[in-house]
Amino acid sequence: MKKSFKALLAAVFLIVEVPFLSSIASADQAIQAITHAGFGGGTDVTTRMMLLRARRVLKQDMQLVNKKGGGGAASMDYMMSLPADGQHTLTWTTGHAVSMALGKTKVKLSDMQPLARGTDDPQLFVVNCKEDIKDAKKFVSTQKKKALSYGTTHTGGIDDVSAIAFTKKGGLKTPKIVAYKGVAPIKTNLIKGDIDVGVLNLGEALTEINEGKLCVSVVLANNRMQKLSNVPTAKELGIDVALSTVRGFVTKKGAPADRVKTLEAGMLKAMSHNYYKNFLTEIGLDQTSVVGADEWGKQMESMLKEMTAQLKALGYIK
């Protein structure tokens, strides 16, 4: 990271996290920014970066409230315990979609009011640059004849769902899923040649891509990424799959319409500031990550639908 961005990030971490709202004297004036993630993780940082300017735009304090548990289920359940007054936001992620699909909460998408998306980090199929499957068409044609091994960071989540959805919809051989504890082993084993494909995000593989060690064969997005403009999407190859690690914001359904519009407009303005743009650049993304309520809501629906279908295919949902 650049020195200036590191300094900014350090300042962002000074934003107060409040585990228990009863400890806040001014709770009725502050907007609760609910998250489920640990300190310093992608969801935590994305939320803090949004808060940095949103609290100024909205002219209202915003304080982090962390509710861990159930892969995001606890945070959704907590949101539903609050009044529908637009005085809180929840950072909704791909993990929440998985928890909902698995029935870890009774909360439905219809209980939430989308506000804005903060990051859209498409799933990538990354390979060793020495292999001929770095070419997208070769990547597909090879799997019509034989199964490839896909490295993922876990099972029952977006990584193996991405591999299964792609191969199933493409009429390809069912992949061999190899789960690792973290991103680093995936990259190491790709470079060594022990696995064929790594399911990663751009920020996770950017260093090795820039060094020419790893190459991206396919992007699971609706449109090509600016930083990977030469890499086709799955849809361009005739395989209708678009899956991302997403982080966006919602509030409880039923909040006054004018309040919802105020929150949406405030967040969009906050995330158009250079601070947020620089944050996106540092993690390999760009301003196309940021969209309003309509587009974000549609993506939430498609994400949950895809997750549910593929988790059933994987046997996680009976």
pLDDT range class, residue 19, cuts 50, 70, 90: very low
3-state secondary structure of 297: helix
Fold of 3-120+245-313: D-Maltodextrin-Binding Protein; domain 2 (3.40.190)
Q: Is the pTM of this model over 0.85?
A: no
What is the spatial distance between Cα 25 and Cα 194, in angstroms, rounded to a whole number?
56
pLDDT range class, residue 38, cuts 50, 70, 90: confident
Over the range 100-120, which residues count as b (16 or more CB within 10 Å of their CB) and which as e?
bbbebbebebebbbbbbbbbb
Any idea where the domains of the chain sit in the sequence? 3-120+245-313, 122-237
Any idea which residue has 């949902």 for tokens?
A: 317
Name the CATH superfamily, with its identifier, for domain 122-237.
Periplasmic binding protein-like II (3.40.190.10)
Topology alike, domains 3-120+245-313 and 122-237: yes
Model confidence at 4: pLDDT above 70: no
Q: Which of 1-5, 40-44, 173-177, 293-297 has the lowest mean pLDDT?
A: 1-5
pLDDT in tens, 176-210: 999 998 899 999 999 999 999 999 999 889 899 99
pLDDT in tens, 64-90: 999 999 889 999 999 999 999 999 999
Pair 92, 178: CB distance under 8 Å:
no
pLDDT in tens, 246-286: 999 999 999 999 999 999 999 999 999 999 999 998 888 99
Please give the pLDDT value at position 11. Answer: 56
